[in-house]
Amino acid sequence: MNNHFTITINDDNGVKQFNLHQFVKKIVFYAVVFLVVIGVSAVGVILYLDNSVDKIEKKRMQVEKAYEDLKLKNLKLNKNIKETQQILDIKKKELVEVSDSLDEIELMIGVSHSKEVPLQERVNLTKISSIDMATMLQFIPNGSPVEYKGITSKFGYRIHPTLHKREFHRGLDMRAKMNTPVYATADGIVEWAGYHKRSGYGNLIILQHNYGFRTYFGHLNKIVIKSSQYVKKGDLIAYTGNSGMSNGPHLHYEIRFISRPMNPYWFVKWNIKNYKEIFEKEKKIPWQSLITATAQIKVLKPTQTRPLSRLDQQSKGK
C-alpha cells in the first residue's frame, strides 16, 4: 500500500519533487474543506447581518419619525394647553368682574345673599330684579324728555317771568332751543294734544301713564301725536317752542301723581343706576305698592333711558 504522494513543481530552476505522506494529504484536504465551510458560513453570516442591519435601520428610521411626530404633537399640545390656560385666566378674571358687578347690582337693588349661594343663582335673582326695575322704568316717567342742557326754572315757588308775581311752579323749565325733539318718558295714552289756552302752556301734551301718573309738556311749537294715541317710552311726541305764556323757547315739563304735582327733577335723573334714590327723594308716592303692582308684569323689550348729558355731571356734584 502506497502511503505517499508526490508533488512536482516546475520553475526556472528546474523540476522539484516533494513526497508527502497520505496522512498529510488528508489533513490538507480537510483543512481546505474547513476553510471553504468557514468561508461559506462567513458569507452567510455577513448576508444575514447585512439584512438584519437593514431591518434595524428601517426600524430606527421609523422610531425617529415616530419620535418627531410625537414631538410635534407635544408642541401642539403644549400650545393648546397654554391657550386653554390663557382662556381660563380670562374667564376667571371675567367671573371675578361679574361677581364684583353682581355685588354692586345686588347692593343697588337690595338683594342679599350668603356667600354659599352659587353664582348662577345670584345671576338669576339679579336678572329677575332687573326685569322688575325695567318694568317700573317703562311705565313710570323717568329720564329727560329732551337732551339735557340745564334748567332755567325749578319746581316750587317763584316769580312768574311774564306775570311778575309769586306763584307755585308745578314743573321744570328745561333749557332747549326752538324745535328741539321731545320724547315720551314712559308708556302712556295721549290725553291731550293741542293748544291749551286756559293753562297758559300754549301747545300742550298730556300723557296719561299707569298707576296714576301724568306728564305735561308745555310751550311746544309742533305736536306730532294725536289725542287717544298710545305712545311708548322714547317715542317722539313734539318739538319745543315758545307758545303760550312764555318768555323764550324752552320745555315746561310736569309730572303729577293722582293730580298732585311732583318735583320732576328726581324723575328726570332717575335711571337703573340710581334706582333706589328716588324712593328717598320723593316720599309722597307709595313706592312699595307700585313695586308690588309692577312685579306682576314683565316687559320683554324695555326702552332704554336716553342719555342725560350734563345732568349726570350735575348730579355727581350734588
Q: At residue 317, does pLDDT exceed 80?
A: no
Three-class SS state of 59: helix
Q: What is the DSSP code (8-state) at residue 32?
A: H
CA atoms within 13 A on the CB side of 12: 0
Residues 63 and 147 in one domain: no
**Furthest-apart CA pair in the chain: how many Å?**
173
Q: How confident is the model at residue 118 (pLDDT cuts 50, 70, 90)?
A: confident
Residues 21 and 157 in one domain: no
The C-alpha cell of 260 is what?
298732585
- pLDDT at 101 (0 to 100): 64
Single residue among 70, 86, 102 that ends a domain in this structure: 70
Establish if 197 belongs to a structural domain.
yes
* pLDDT tens digits, one per residue of 143-200: 999 999 999 999 988 777 666 778 888 999 999 999 999 999 999 999 999 999 898 9
| Averaged pLDDT, 200-217 | 96
Establish if 248 belongs to a structural domain.
yes
For Cα atoms 54, 56, 59, give the angle at the middle one, nearest 5 degrees.
Answer: 110
Q: To the nearest whole percent, how much of the chain has pLDDT over 90?
A: 36
Which residue do the cell numbers 332687573 mark?
A: 130
The C-alpha cell of 39 is what?
468561508
Residues 58 and 171 in one domain: no
Per the model's pLDDT, the better-predicted residue between 307 and 53 turns out to be 53
| Averaged pLDDT, 117-126 | 60
Domain count along the chain:
2
Three-class SS state of 283: coil
Residues 38 and 185 in one domain: no
Neighbours of 178 (CB within 10 A): 12
Q: Cα–Cα distance between 267 and 256 in angstroms, integer?
A: 11
Establish if 195 belongs to a structural domain.
yes
Q: Are strands 202-208 and 260-262 parallel, antiparallel or unpaired?
A: unpaired
Q: What is the mean pLDDT of the chain?
A: 83
List CB contacts of 271: < 8 A, sequence separation 6 or more.
137, 142, 143, 305, 308
| Averaged pLDDT, 266-287 | 89
Is 0.85 topped by the overall pTM? Answer: no
Establish if 235 belongs to a structural domain.
yes
Q: Residue 238 maps to which CATH number?
A: 2.70.70.10
Establish if 97 belongs to a structural domain.
no
Residues 42 and 143 in one domain: no
Establish if 306 belongs to a structural domain.
yes
Single residue among 51, 70, 89 that ends a domain in this structure: 70
Single residue among 43, 70, 97 that ends a domain in this structure: 70
Confirm if 218 and 204 have CB atoms less than 8 A apart: yes
Establish if 36 belongs to a structural domain.
yes
Helices marked H in 200-241: none
Q: At residue 78, does pLDDT exceed 50?
A: yes
Q: At residue 123, does pLDDT exceed 70?
A: no
- pLDDT at 295 (0 to 100): 76
Residues 145 and 261 in one domain: yes
* pLDDT tens digits, one per residue of 10-51: 777 777 766 656 666 677 778 888 888 888 888 888 888 888
Residue numbers of the domain that contains 239:
138-316
Establish if 193 belongs to a structural domain.
yes
Q: Cα–Cα distance between 91 and 143 in angstroms, integer?
A: 35
